Amino acid sequence: MQPQGLQIQVSGKVQGVSFRSYCQKEAQKLGLTGSVENLNNGKVKIYAWGRPEALEALLTWSCQGSPWAKVEEVIPIPWSPSPAPSRFTIR
């Protein structure tokens, strides 16, 4: 199956709870590339690229997040990077 991209916006108590670090570890474990960043509005945005089943697994993970997170809403949006990212980073 061809790689796909997914942008995931996560809201709730997701900043200051190691969400980005845990997300990076999960994405790398799943073989995904992309990035994760804090937004000024208190949300976190994930950009992920890889196999559809790995994207689905990261989407499921993002509904829970890090052990200290309290996720309230997760919004997935298709994403088409150009060029495709080569690793998963924290911004």
CATH number of the domain residue 46 falls in? 3.30.70.100
61-86 pLDDT per residue, tens: 999 999 999 999 999 999 999 999 99
Q: Given this model, what pLDDT does residue 2 score?
A: 87
Question: Total domain count for the chain?
Answer: 1
Active centre residues (catalytic): 20, 38
pLDDT tens for residues 12-55?
999 999 999 999 999 999 999 999 999 999 999 999 999 999 99
For β-strands 44-50 and 88-90, DSSP reports them as unpaired
What distance in Å separates the CA atoms of residue 40 and residue 29, rounded to the nearest whole number?
A: 28
pTM here is 0.95
Radius of gyration of the chain (CA): 12
What per-residue confidence (pLDDT) applies to 1? 73
Q: What is the pLDDT of residues 1-14, one digit of tens each?
A: 788 999 999 999 99
Structural domain of 82:
4-90
Cis check for the bond before 83: say yes or no (omega within 30 of 0).
yes
